[in-house]
Structure 1
């Protein structure tokens, strides 16, 4: 205990080993749903769910333990929600790329992300992107997750006359999804830790009785990761005209990971002071720079193991609320992810309609960012709303981001406020314009 206290600086942080362990368990319970949801989503891209389950646990453990040991931050990492849906439903199913090529695109975006972090430009770039567009991207991904969740639950179905319609609400699986969603929301409102995980397990348990599911055991040795390990096709990603996909991965990783990391650090009282003249979000502290490096390297590691982009998890705030202040909290989370490797039969028994309520609730939480838009300024709010509505209605996060950046630049130009637009916005808008001009839809 004394060695742990000295290594992580527990006394200086005003915490104890017991507090850090409790905080780690709390964080794990709030984000453990990803070990069920991620394989479910990526299996829609043709990836073997059992191998994705192993990759999810391994990359979450690896990234989180690096965060804890290198940066001494109480922040956990895992494959990000939204990006896994974009990977499976937009890049693979929508654009027709193989999942190996999509992994190659994740690897390239991760390398760019890591390079940007190492040269110190990451925070400078994120401050150049308008806050309204950032809010629009988060909310748009929320709506995108929402329509995927409703489809997986059977609540929304295809309709030849109206494109979409209401599913059969008499089906047991649909009713179980609705029950799971209400349970998750109620439990979370009552401040019960692990509400999302409890909801998933509740629906899964009921599925054996009324959903026709089959129980194959609870504990076993981990499945093989061979079907996804080192299967990324970097050459295919470089030569397949997939650079707009890389750009989307890169931008969402930039907003999601950096924003989450700094937000949790701020809540824990770990955010460094920003000297006069520095960027608004510029991280100057050595621990923060190491934390940025840890979550950047995790993206590359995830693509090698066989999963979509990894990011810092906002659920880490639950552990901070429980008293977590050092990397020991993160180490505890990492160890629990490694222990989860032995529960693969349970993960394989979780049906899509059991994870759909979790997706839908995450979607609801992500939509809260709409409230932060400057509604009095149409040149800010309209591009953000175009971003939000384009993602679900074109079934593409890429199109939503493109519509947002292009309309933002155009409206600022037409209203004589071009000088207020950062150069990075013009560059990103131009890239998307060229993509539509030469590649068209897709």
Structure 2
């Protein structure tokens, strides 16, 4: 492993990489439960989607390790799976087989773009200030994802979001299950923060297990009462072993039956845009957090990383799942010291094991992983000190990029607004010479995207 993954050269060791892989997997294992439910709404077989998601995630993560030797883990992208199910299938009226064909086509296009260095050129064209802003924005984005997952932050009509009301969760003098999970998540944030401050090795994964363990204790004491209809499931695994479910209902089911050409092109473009810039944004953010970018803001192995993402998408469509993309939760493993492909391999192996131990992995509650996301968000937020705030020409686009990600719930939207504002302000302030042709093209394409798609 030392020879293949170059552990010492990257300032890491086997134990650190294994722990990082476990941490990343634990923070993103929820996708194995969420993705089948979302794609199930489109009429797909949930058991087959579970198997397809696990296998495609493992294979794509292995590709990341072997193509690029980087600690990023991949799976079915959130947002892209919702677009697949609720917009393309339920909204536009296409069958899920046609949606899989669009994902498959998108993946093939990405393979070509990756091999021809187009995606690599886009990555390298983004200014250093915006790359730092992307890292900070992702930190805020995954922090609010964690807060929402734990229901600490909830929707509210007049203010869009607000803090969870403990008083409203009391029934007959006792807390409802939701109140208990929110309280456990808050305790988990403090526990994980304490472990982080004390420099305890494996602080994030320990925080997850401690929070989950407290939840199990609450269930045994009757404080937490499972209610599947309300979304509160048992925190205690019903079994340990489970045979993998067949992938036959979704395997190789792509179809172009009844496709309207222009609508199909729009669908592919939407998948292309979100996948490309979510991936680029995640790679930038996580690599910045780990100081893996060189002095020119470039990432070693970037072409292989983007190719792994593209291959994962193609394989995912063949198996029967939505777009496979690099997960922002990879930052949790990087925060634990993951620096090489051994982290990705570890997570990939755990995805394979999940096929046989699904009851255990599916019992991990979102309130237990939420503290990890919040604290990783804190660590990524530290990059904000690298932004030259005295240079308003660079700082304002960076600020726009940072704000757009959490408020619009999208990494790609943050990059879009950041690049558009950077190009427009530089041109308006007489600094057009600093705008590279590729940045100008990207800005125009983003504007057209908002007008046409």
TM over 0.5: yes
- Alpha-carbon distance between aligned partners in 2 of 1:336 and 1:381, rounded to the nearest angstrom: 41
How far, CA to CA, are the matches of 1:291 and 1:399 in structure 2? 21
1:30 aligned residue: 23
- Distance in 1 (CA, whole Å) between partners of 2:317 and 2:378 is 28
Q: Does structure 1 residue 39 correspond to structure 2 residue 51?
A: no
| 8 Å CA contact retained: 1:245, 1:398 | no
C-alpha separation in 2, matches of 1:70 and 1:161:
48
Quick check: 1:382 aligned with 2:396? yes
The corresponding residue for 2:114 is 117
Shift of residue 375, structure 1, vs aligned partner: 1.3
Mapped partners of 1:422, 1:190: distance in 2: 45
Aligned counterpart in structure 2 of residue 281 of structure 1, from 298, 304, 328: 298
CA distance 1:67–1:389, shift in 2 (3 Å): closer
Does residue 183 (structure 1) correspond to residue 197 (structure 2)? The answer is no
Unaligned runs of 5+ in 2: 168-178, 227-233
Tell me the secondary structure at the aligned position of residue 404 of structure 2: helix
1:406 counterpart residue number? 420
Following the alignment from structure 1 to structure 2, what is the Cα–Cα distance between the partners of residues 330 and 248? 23
Aligned with 1:197 (options 185, 205, 230):
205
Alignment of 1:338-353 (within 5 A): 338-353=352-367
User: What is the Cα deviation at residue 67 of structure 1?
Assistant: 4.7
Q: String of CA shifts for 1:141-164, please: whole Å, max 9, x gaps.
A: 333333333223222223233232
Residue 242 of structure 2 aligns to a residue in which SS?
coil
User: For the structure 1 residues 14 and 396, does the alpha-carbon distance in structure 2 shift closer, same or farther, using more than 3 Å as the test?
Assistant: closer
Alpha-carbon distance change, 129 to 242 in structure 1, aligned in 2, over 3 angstroms: same
The answer to whether the Cα contact below 8 Å between 1:136 and 1:370 also exists between their aligned partners in 2 is yes
Residue 387 to residue 424, structure 1, CA distance change in 2 (3 Å):
same
The alignment partner of 1:301 has SS state of helix
Q: Distance in 2 between matches of 1:406 and 1:118?
A: 27
Q: CA deviation at 1:250?
A: 0.5
Report what 2:132 is aligned to. 135
Aligned-partner Cα distance in 1 for 2:305–2:361: 30
Query: 1:216-258: per-residue Cα shift (whole Å, max 9, x none)?
Result: 1222223444566556778688344562452132023134337
- Structure 1 distance, partners of 2:351, 2:19, is 13
Structure 2 contact 27–373 (Cα < 8 Å) conserved: no
CA 1:13/1:407 → structure 2, altered by over 3 Å: closer, same or farther? closer
Whole-angstrom CA distance in 2 between matches of 1:376 and 1:223:
57
CA contact (8 A) 1:142 1:367 kept: yes
Measured against aligned partners, the alpha-carbon deviations of 1:315-347 in whole angstroms (never above 9, x if no partner) come to 6657877xx87x677655544443343220022
Tell me the number of residue pairs that the alignment of Structure 1 and Structure 2 aligns: 411
- Please state how far the C-alpha of 1:120 moved relative to its aligned partner: 3.5
Q: Please state how far the C-alpha of 1:68 moved relative to its aligned partner.
A: 4.8
Q: Give 1:142-291 correspondences, 5 Å limit.
A: 142-169=139-166, 171-205=179-213, 206-207=215-216, 208-209=219-220, 210-213=223-226, 214=234, 215=236, 216-226=238-248, 229-230=251-252, 238-241=264-267, 243-257=269-283, 281=298
Does the residue aligned with 1:350 lie in a helix, a strand or coil?
coil
- Contact 1:109/1:247, CA 8 A, preserved across alignment: no
Give runs of aligned pairs for residues 326-341 of structure 1, distance below 5 A: 334-341=348-355
Task: Give 5+ residue unaligned stretches, structure 1.
Answer: none
Q: Measured at CA, do residues 438 and 69 of structure 1 come closer, stay the same or move farther in structure 2, by a change above 3 Å?
A: closer
2:165 is paired with a residue of what secondary structure?
A: coil
SS at match of 2:147: helix
Is residue 372 from structure 1 mapped to residue 386 from structure 2 by the alignment?
Answer: yes
Q: TM-score, normalised by structure 2?
A: 0.73
Residue aligned with 1:165, SS: strand
* Residues 192-237 of structure 1: CA deviation (Å, up to 9, x unaligned): 4544333333333324333224231222223444566556778688
Q: Distance in 2 between matches of 1:369 and 1:412?
A: 23
